[in-house]
Each structure stands twice: as structure tokens, then as C-alpha cells.
Structure 1
Amino acid sequence: MRIGELSARTGASRRSLRYYEQQGLLVSTRSPSGQRCYDDGHVQRVALVQSFLVAGMSSRTIAQMVPCMTEPNMDRAREALTAMNQERNRLSSTIDSLTAARAALDHLINVNREFLANVADD
């Protein structure tokens, strides 16, 4: 498939797909005329890259993990594992903070509901 179809299938803009290639997050083959060519595996890779970016990972960090996803070897696996563990710890901390914020918000929502219910009864 060409870049337009990959864009349509993933929701990523053509510009984003080109950026992913520049950063080493995605590798395409080229047709004889020089056009980028992708396969179904690229759809999955783009979805993975997008989920990592949404989670706050930098493209540099994702690029450290990419070689382990495609052609792992001992050195790549060690480097990728270090990056993955750091990101997992960061995500866990963020999740804990978000959970605490949601609990505080739930408490405030309940306080305000009770207040409004009491005012309506008067």
C-alpha cells in the first residue's frame, strides 16, 4: 500500500508517517518509481507508535525500542529493555497520579451532589 492508504487505515497524517520514517520509527520499502510502499505490518507498527506517543513517550525513546521489535540481538535487547523499563516506571507513576486525581475529583463531585440535594430539599 502507498502512504495515502496507510494514512487512511491508521488515522495518521502523511506528514506524521514521514516524520516516523525520519525518526526511524517506521521503515518503508520503495517502488521502482521511488514511492513509499507499506504492508499490513506497518499498520500495526503505526498503531503501536501512536499509542506510545499518546502515552507521552518521546520519539527518541521509541526509536531505542524499535530495533528490538524488528531484529533483536543481545545489545539491542539490553538497550531496549532499559528504555522499556524506564518508560514503564514513568507510566506507572503517571497512572498512580491520575488515579489519585480522579479519586479527589470523585470526592468533590459527591460533596457537591450532596450539597445540591440538601439545598433542593429546603
Structure 2
Amino acid sequence: MGRGSGAGHMLIGELSRRTGVSTRLLRYYEAQGLLNAERGTNGYRCYDEDTVVTVRQVRALLDAGLTTEVIRAVLPCARGEQPEFEMCVDVRTVLNRVLADTDERIGDLQRSRSALVGYLEAKS
């Protein structure tokens, strides 16, 4: 969320180039409350240097299957690009809930797979 006081400012095109994330997605992340942009007098979005790390954190957390809602809740406790977490307020609870939901979806998929295999192996 643009945490810290990184020196330098960049426009959305530069942030996109440096992170490999489209400007459209960057605007979406901002709309979801994952990024903060200052507005210049010309109305252009302006990001600080720390936003590069924040975008990489968001990408890693999305790749882990987290929703933008969950990411918004845990992002203030994220450290580094991977990221790692300080187990600050409710992060462990949130991540445990997401893990339980993921395990449940895996179970549902395994049941679906078994049923499909059964249909394919059934003798006609």
C-alpha cells in the first residue's frame, strides 16, 4: 500500500514496466485498496518506490490463491517480495481460514475426479 517513505516517484507506465503488471491491473489493484497513488496537479497517478515491492507482494499472494479482500487484510503485515509475514493482528487467523477453504476445495475436486474416473472406467 505504498508503505514507507521510498524516495522517487513514478507514473503508472513506469510502475507497469518495472513490475511486468499491466496498467489496467494496477488501476484494479488501486480500486481494490491494494495500492495507493498520489495524484499530481495534472491528475496522473504517481507512485513511490515502495510500490514496486507492494505490487510484487500482491502478485505473489494472488498466485497463492488469495482473494484481493484477503490480501487487503494481510498486506500491512507482509515483508519482502516473497512475502513473509509478521504475524500481526489476525493474519494467522485469516491465513488459516483460507487454508481450510483451500483444503475443502481440494477435497471437492478429488471427489469430482473420482466420479469422472468411475464414469470412464464403467463397462458399457
TM-score after normalising by structure 2: 0.60
Give the structure with the larger helix fraction: 1
- Which sections of structure 1, spanning at least 5 residues, go unmatched? 70-76, 94-122
- Partner amino acid, structure 1, of 2:58: V
Give the structure with the larger strand fraction: 2
CA deviation after TM superposition for structure 1 residue 68, in Å: 4.6
Identity of aligned residues (%): 44
- Partner amino acid, structure 1, of 2:89: R
- Partner amino acid, structure 2, of 1:64: A
- Which sections of structure 2, spanning at least 5 residues, go unmatched? 1-9, 79-87, 104-124
2:42 to 28, 33, 48: 33
The one-character-per-residue Cα deviations of 1:11-51 (angstroms, maximum 9, x if unpaired) are 00000000000000111111111110012100000000000
TM-score after normalising by structure 1: 0.61
How many residues are aligned here?
Answer: 89
Q: CA RMSD in A?
A: 2.6
More contact order relative to length (CA 8 Å, sep ≥ 6): 2
Give distance in 2, aligned partners of 1:64 and 1:82: 11
1:40-51, aligned counterparts within 5 Å?
40-51=49-60
